Structures are given as structure tokens and as C-alpha cells.
Structure 1
Amino acid sequence: MDEDLAPDETAAIAPAIPGISGELSAAILMMLLEDGDATTILQHLAPDEVKALGKGMFEASSANETDVERALESFVASNRDLSALAVGAPVRIREMMHKALGNVRAGNILSEIEPQSSAPSLDILRWMDVASISELVASEHPQVAAVILSVLTPEVSALAISSLDEATQTDLLFRSANLRSISAEAIEDLEAILMNYTSGKAHAPDVALGGRNEVARIVKNLPRPAAEKLLRSLRKKDRLLADAIEEEMFVFDDLAALDAKALGTILRNVDADQIALAIKGASDVLGEKMLGTLSARAAQTIKDDIADMGQVKRTDVEAAQKAVIAVARQMAASGEIVMGGKSDDYV
């Protein structure tokens, strides 16, 4: 390399690391750590960071060897200029001060020189769901509510006050804007309020369980005779519910699992305009498979219709796809085609 090149020019011609997002890189690195080390890192992150990193870790579970290599290269490159003095600095400084001066004198000095942040005991606010925070803000004294808003991220604070009337919002923002510091006594009062609230009133977010979609998946995985028998029994208890579950069992994308003969049989019983709309919103693979079951002339006509459509309403596409599935369900019920559910236990 030419030694006369300026530093900026040298950096410019350095080989670039193949692209990998920062989120995926961080998630891969977390997965490579020992569980204890990863847990320690998570304990120091904000709730939104934990959510983002956790989501990335699920995605990173399918990362290949190249992704791992890129993540490690990215980590080394981004930390090449990181000073060793910065690693764990706050903890080291506090420990040195306490050992040298004693707890009381060190505490007095650190209170003056240490960068300020919200009290650790108030971090519980960052983990509360927005509905509980909004209820707390609405029920407490405005000055207490203003402090709460100041501890939260701006995004969460905005959601928390969104349901309040304009006068209350204005008052809280005015008070928050005029906050400068909070006394230890005020912090203690707020801690007591939070302890009381979280032990009695606050609630964890509801967990989505069950529902028609989950039941449809269960029934769909049963042997076909058992599935049909269950649906008949459900229909006696609640016809609309049984119909909804059956509709969830067979969705438009399931048509991709049919053989060309069965799929062609279905499409011959569907209007051409509905087929065109349905294919308009289908995946490329399913769309091509559907067209492949038609005659060359019919397929070309539908392709032309789709090209002339331009943008269409999603509701129109969904209605057309439901019409195709309705025909498929009718034909499956009559035994003309076989779709969904496990095959019968016959050999």
C-alpha cells in the first residue's frame, strides 16, 4: 500500500465488510455468549432494547456460518477504536472512590460529580405496560405524574397521555418542562406509590392464547374423519363458530399444496374475473401454479386482465380469494377433491 496516502484515503480503499445489519450482528453475538454473560448484558438494557434484541435472537437462530463470520468481523471493526478505559468505567470509578475515601465521603463526592440518571428503583416504570402507566398518570397528583413522564422515554410518555384531555396534557407537559431536579424525599414518595400500584393495581399485558385460528390449526392436524366429526359437533353448539373455524382451517395459500388436477378442478368452477383478482394478491409461486392448470388461452386472458387492473383494493382481492376457497371447501366436502387435515389412517 502507498505510504503517502492520507489516513482518509487509506480508509476509503480498505475492503468493506459484507453487509449485515447491526441488529442481526448483535443478536448473533448474544447467541454466541455463555448464558450467564448474555443474561448480564440483558439486565443492563432498556425494555425496548431487550425486545428488539430478543426478536433478533430468534431470527439469529437460523443464521448460517457466513452470517456468524460477518457479525464477528463487524464487531471487531466497530470496536477497534474503543478505549479500554471506557469498559466498565462507572463501576471501577465508584469502587476506587469507596476504597480510597470510605463509603460516606465517596458517596458525598460522587453525588456531585457522577453523571445523573433516573433512580434505579424508578426503572420499574420502563417495564410497565402503557395502559397501567396511563392509569397511574391519570390518578396521581399532577406533579407526581410529571415526574413519571420525565422518567419514561418520550414515545411511551406520549402514548401514556394520549387518552387524557387536552387541559390535563397541557398541565403535565408544563410541569415536566419545568422540572430541574427531584429531591430524595420526592423519589421515596414516588417509589412508595409505585410499590403500592404494582402490588395491587398494575397488571401484566394480556397474553394472546387460543382463539379460532389456534383451534383451526388443532383441528387441521387431526385425521380427516376425526376433524369432520369434531366440526359437526361444534356446529351443533355454535354454527357460526364452527363455520369460522372451518374458514380458518383452509386459507387461500393452502391451495399451493394441492396437485394440479385438484386445483384445476376448483378453478373450473370459479368465475374468470375472481380468478384474476385472486391471483393478483397471490404469491408468485401459487399464481403460476394456478395459471398452469388452465388452458394456454385462458391463462393468457387472465394475465392480460391482471395487467390491465392496476391497483386494486385489498378487500376485493380477499373477497375473490375467499370465493375460490369456498368452492374448494364445497368440493372437499362432496369428496371431489382432498384438501387439509391428515390423511386417513388406512393403507
Structure 2
Amino acid sequence: MSAATQGRTPALTGPQKCAVICMALGPQVASRLLKRLAPDEVQQVSYAITTMPSVPQEVVDAVVTEFRSQSKAADSLTRGGMQVAHRLLNEAFGEAKAKVILEQVPASGNETLRRLQRAAPEALAAAMRTEHPQVVAVVLAHLDPVAAGALLGALAPELAADAVFRMASLDRVDPALLAVIESSLGDRVGVTLAATTEALNGPKVAAAMLNSSVKAVELRVLEGVTERDSAVADSIRAKMFTFEDLLRIDNKGIQRILRDVDSRELATALKGASPELRQHVKSNMSGRAAEALDEEIELLGAVRVSDVEAAHARVIEVVRSLEESNEIVMPARGGAGGGNDFVT
């Protein structure tokens, strides 16, 4: 075993070493091992597998040697990831139980991304003030739309527009680039970015982020992107969704959305909405629920446009989540509005 390998192997936790063994053994043999573990141990090993996309062969050899076994892996890298974890668990416990276990396993990189998303937008903006716009684009692409929208509003207008323009051109982020960005931002922000080779739909990510921004930021950024390349701006607008676009969702979809939206949130979001949209929503509620909604809207009185827009953003988040899970069919379209005036 090389000195480098000796230095790396002790850094692995017990569950990680077990994960390496499972990945090296393959589903059929590894399933026998998993069956002998306690439920909490299975979950720990499953999490380790999902967070280890690849393991160098020298590390596999070191771990296998430690367990007095032989590595049968033919490739230079033993592959992990969610698919491998699912295959191993399915072999050991069956499809139903495997699904339950994996649902309890945090998705790869979620914790580090949550740390990034919890950081104050102003702090992130300050840390990226001197960064290249491409770096800012990658960071924005790795935040959820709400956090990205907040960060976008804290950036200088020129940097924000440039970053969104570059984000719209992203289709995949090299893990090596993420490592460089992590090194650059780590000391100042105290977070890491999760490496991923998953494909990115740049315009769609940019559209979701702008939908979660206040309207003034959305319009300003789109104007800046248009100045750089009108075709890119159009590709973003084509994937954007505004609150009024609920009119284009069918009755079944509206009914599904209403199950996940708080009544007060809905009332706030409908302040100032078109009569057609209000009717579309109410026509998918019981008569009593529709009356209660009208009363709640009336009782709200004057509401800041910024509060209405925030409610719109939260409803849109619900819509996008349901679209991602294929529970509704959602059209994509852009729109306007906004400010700190009041809707009465």
C-alpha cells in the first residue's frame, strides 16, 4: 500500500469502508452483507454509497486488504451513486423496502447546499463581488430558486445580468470547476459545493430563479441579458411562469395545487389578480371554500405589492415542484408587475 493510500484510508468512516466493500462486491454478494446489518447501519451505508460517486482502485484495495479480502473489481474506479445504492438495496430487501430506505437517505450534496442556501444573500454577494461572472453563474445554478433569487437581488445589477446570461448557457458543470470555486469561496463563506456531473438546463434554472426574484430584479436582469443576447433572454422568458399563468393550467391541476397551498397564502397571492384568475381558482373549490376565500381576501385589506409577489413566488414554487414530480402539466410564460406600492 502506498504512503498516499495509507494516508487516505484511515480518513474513511466505518460506513464508508462498508460502502466501498459493497460497491466492489456487487449487488448479489453485497446484499448478503446488508441483510446482516441493523436498519440504522443500512441507512448509514446507503448514504455513504450515494455520496461516493467514484472510489480510486488503490483505496478499494486498501479497504479490501483491511477486511482480509480480495478486490475483484476490473475497472480502475469502483462506481457508486444513487443507482448503485438502489440496486444493492433492491437485491437485499426488495423494491418496496429499498424505496423506503432511500427516501430516508439525504440526497448527495444536500447538506453542503443547505449550508450555502442558509448563508445570508448579502454575505454571499459580498464574497462574490470580485469573482468572475462565470463563478457567480455556477453558484447560482447550485442554489434552489428562492435562495438564488435572493442572492440575485443582492448582487450588483451588471454582475447579476452577466451571471444569468452565462447561467443560461450552462449544460453541465465540471466537478473540477466546482473544486476551484469551493477553494475560492470556502474561507470567506465557509461552505462547500457538491460536485455533480448531472446535466443542467441553463435557461430553465435561470427562469426558476427569476420567478423567485422580486419583479424589479427580474426586469432589470432580463433587460441586461437582452442587451447581451436577445435570443438567450427569449429562451429564459419562454420558460418563465407568472402567477397569472395559473389560468393556463387545467382544472385537475388547479385542484392539485390548492391541496398544497395555505389558504392565507392563496388569499394574499390573489390580491390584485385578474377576475378571470380568481374565478378559475374558485371554480375548483367548494362553494363554502370559495366564499371563505373571498372573505379572507377582503379582510386582508391593503397589502404591499412586495408581499403579494412573495406569495406569488411561494405558490409558483409549489407549482414547479408538482410539475417536476409530473403531478401537473404546467405551461411556461413570462410576465410583469411589482414594487412596494399597495394593492387594495
TM-score, shorter chain, exceeding 0.5: no
> TM-score normalised to the size of structure 2?
0.31
Looking at CA atoms only, which structure, 1 or 2, has the larger radius of gyration?
1
More helix by share: 1
